[in-house]
Amino acid sequence: MDLKTFLQLFVLVVRALDGTIFVEGNLFDVDFSAQRENILPNSARPANSSRVFYGIMMDAGSTGTRIHVYSFIQEDPDGLPYLHNETFHSEEIGLSSYVNTPEEAGKLVRELLKVATSAVPRAMWHKTPLVLRATAGFRLLPADKAHVLIEEIKEVFSQSPFLVTSRSVSIIDGTYEGILAWVSLNFLMGHLHVDMKRSAGVLDLGGASTQISFLPKCQKTVNKAPTDHVAKLEILNTTYLLYTHSYLKNGLKVARLLTLGALGDADPGKKVFKSLCLPKNYSDNYTFGGITYEVRGNINGYNGYETCYKEVLKAIKGSVRKPYNVHENMFHAVAYYYDMAKDSGLIEGSQDEHVEVKRFKKKAKEVCGDKSKDHYGKPFDCMDLTYITALLTEGFGFQDSVGLQLTKKVKGFESSWALGAMLEYLHKVRIP
């Protein structure tokens, strides 16, 4: 099979069922047929004289800015590339936080580019594509301010030694982000082939948005879903209906503001926002999206799981939809699902641990009910764990006994939508 024919085998087309186009683009194709099912390279596979090429993807998230430097091996000019290596680095601040100081965003991007110049051989710089995709943090900004930040990033990119095009910097919508996360996970797991029955769903909890994407096992799930919750996905000349939706403002950090009643307040600088989810004597500032809020615990209220649960429901009721028969599908929970489980001691940091939903509830009750300390080191743990519990149960409709795979990496690679975005971009610019 020549490469041109191969690339035509895997085309991603996203449309609403009524025909309205949301996203349409050719995704860099991978042959997942039986004879090439193991798309990831064996760690002992030598590069020898094979061609190695690179791609750089920056993920401009709401609470972090990450860089992924991928290397691929092209063993045969007419064959398939293998994902060979990934260099990853993360800074725990989103570029959208610099909404009022865009030059600081530029400085952070320049610092991250040092990771790329170290990971990519100098001789390959001019032919290695450099890409940045911004997500919910940017989607929440006023359009004019987001534009200024994007222009600053473009200017920094233009001064870099890497391959930059007019498509290099953009803001992606939430639906597309969810689809790319699903593609990335199942690509790494080797599930994107003719038999899709083993494909896994993805629950992605970011700072400003959350996504759910899965291939329904029940046709009724598709029939009952709104048209903008279902996308057509064509893989190996077969059309699949993917349930996928992004909920802006339901990310972990924005959900805090919804719980506090602070999001969208006309004059947050002159108010104090209280919550029963916070330690009674807690008082501090909370900054998100360039805005600072004064927050406190409620000294006159009862701090506990039940009262906190009632508060966090404000962030979920009326905004998150339960997919029909969602419990029939196997899901990997990534990003803050994993991070909160690890940071709270729910898991011990295993890269892929199976956890029942009720364990999130148990941990939330434990943290919220602990009167022996004020949790000043992690004052939002009660709120965050309770929110995750409510999002999974009240929001998406998972039963307590449902198990989720808490995932950080798959086969040594970061489980992130960034890989899917990189693969698509490589095809668009005809690399290799």
For Cα atoms 265, 268, 269, give the angle at the middle one, nearest 5 degrees.
Answer: 165
Q: Which tokens belong to 199? A: 């494909």
Count of H-run helices and E-run strands, the chain: 12, 19
Amino acid sitting at position 322:
K
Which stretches of 162-304 are assigned E, i.e. beta strand? 169-171, 201-205, 209-214, 230-235, 238-248, 272-275, 283-288, 291-297
Q: Is 207 annotated as a binding residue?
A: yes
Q: Which residues pair with 37 in a beta bridge?
A: none
CA distance 314 to 212: 20
Length reported for the chain: 432
Max Cα separation, the chain?
Answer: 71
**SS3 label, residue 32:** coil
Among 86, 152, 177, 414, which one carries the catalytic annotation? 177
Q: Is 201 annotated as a binding residue?
A: no
Q: Which tokens belong to 249? A: 């403002």
Q: Which residues pair with 57 in a beta bridge?
A: 68, 131
- Judged on CB neighbours under 10 Å (0-12, 13-18, 19+), 44 is exposed
**Annotation says 104 is catalytic:** no
CA distance 257 to 185: 30
Q: Is 209 annotated as a binding residue?
A: yes
Among 175, 153, 329, smallest CA distance to 248 is for 175
- Judged on CB neighbours under 10 Å (0-12, 13-18, 19+), 301 is middle
Q: Is 264 annotated as a binding residue?
A: no
Q: Is 137 annotated as a binding residue?
A: no
| Cis peptide bond upstream of 121, omega within 30 | no
423 touches 45 (CB < 8 A): no
62 touches 253 (CB < 8 A): yes
240 C-beta neighbours (distance < 10 Å), count: 13
Among 210, 287, 213, smallest CA distance to 249 is for 210
259 touches 315 (CB < 8 A): yes
Q: Which residues are catalytic?
A: 177
Name the binding residues. Answer: 207-211
Name the binding residues for ATP. Answer: 207-211
